[in-house]
Amino acid sequence: MAMASEAGVSAPADARLGELPPAPSGDSPRPTSRDLPYRVVSSKVRLTVRVREIWESRELFVFLVRKELKVKYKSSVLGLLWSMLNPAVVLMVYYVVFKYVLKNPTPDFALYLFSGLLVWNLFSTVLPGSSSTIVANAGIVKKVAFPREILPLSQVGTGVVFLFFQMIVMALFLLGFQYSPDWAYMPIALFALVDLVVLTAAFAIFLSAVNVYYRDVEHLVAVLLQAWFWGIPVVYNYNLVYNELVKLHAFHWLMDIYLIDPITPLVLAFQRAFYGHVVVSVPHQGRYQVLAGYSAGFYVEMLAGVLVAGVLLLLGAMRVFGRIEGNFAEEL
């Protein structure tokens, strides 16, 4: 790969200043500016150019994702099967605690729980790793020229691979419980997955850049994620929040505040598709509403809003990343 031109990188002084090196002896032609072996790092580079560079480095992206998977399960007998066993064990622990200890009345609570955890697991596992990825790869960041955004994006790609194996676990549980999801809402779940990847990529790129200058960011992210988890309807039903807020005079704007959390609509969409049943029958309690009774059109509207917000955040994160990456080598 070409050598980077930013501060702290071993490149010829005249190359760092953007000047042509002296002509070689003999009859060799003088190199042109297109032949210079360096990549310009500048906040003035257009966003379209940065996107094109990322696309042209897609092979590096695939390589980094494969490397993350190999390193994580290096010298492991089960290998990638651990990515299925881990969520299965977590699922069983939550199920036992909330079903038999806390007496959650939701039928087939394990499926309801796991459908929400699919969203949260991707988001919560990618952010801590992506926030520290630039610092962890300081060696190549300072010496090799490539779009640095590839590093946090590779964390997102690894998270999507793990999500694929978790969905296999979900499919096995559906077969084991002889439970049929709501196939009509599967396209909405796919829409929510696209939103989730875009939103996660936006957070990952932004946090990875800021953490280079403020190393407390990666620790703050871990703390905030623990609190954030209890603000989304995964271990409790969305209707519990709805029923409590409907008693208040400011119900409508309070619900808007609750739904403005971009993860909440994604969780609701996955639950509607995989758990499927809005109202269920509970022994000795009668009919019990588990999921939000929104129409498919309302889900599409919510997810469209999340997608627009996610794209804007992603473009903003890339712009911030581009403006501050010029000093990465000095900070690292």
In a domain, 36, yes or no: no
In a domain, 33, yes or no: no
Task: Report how far residue 271's alpha carbon sits from residue 87's, in angstroms, rounded to the nearest whole number.
Answer: 17
Mean pLDDT of the 223-238 span:
89
pLDDT for 100 equals 78
**pLDDT single digits (tens) 263-301:** 999 999 999 999 887 777 666 666 767 788 888 899 999
Share of the chain above pLDDT 90, in %: 27
Band the pLDDT of 4: cuts 50, 70, 90: very low
In a domain, 215, yes or no: yes
Of the listed ranges 20-24, 193-197, 240-244, the one predicted with least confidence: 20-24
In a domain, 23, yes or no: no
In a domain, 69, yes or no: yes
In a domain, 103, yes or no: yes
Total domains, the chain? 1
pLDDT for 14 equals 38
Q: Is the pTM of this model over 0.95?
A: no
pLDDT for 282 equals 63
Q: Is pLDDT of 192 > 90?
A: yes
Q: Which domain holds residue 110?
A: 3-12+41-331
In a domain, 193, yes or no: yes
Task: Report how far residue 295's alpha carbon sits from residue 215's, in angstroms, rounded to the nearest whole number.
Answer: 44
Reported residue count of the chain is: 332
In a domain, 35, yes or no: no
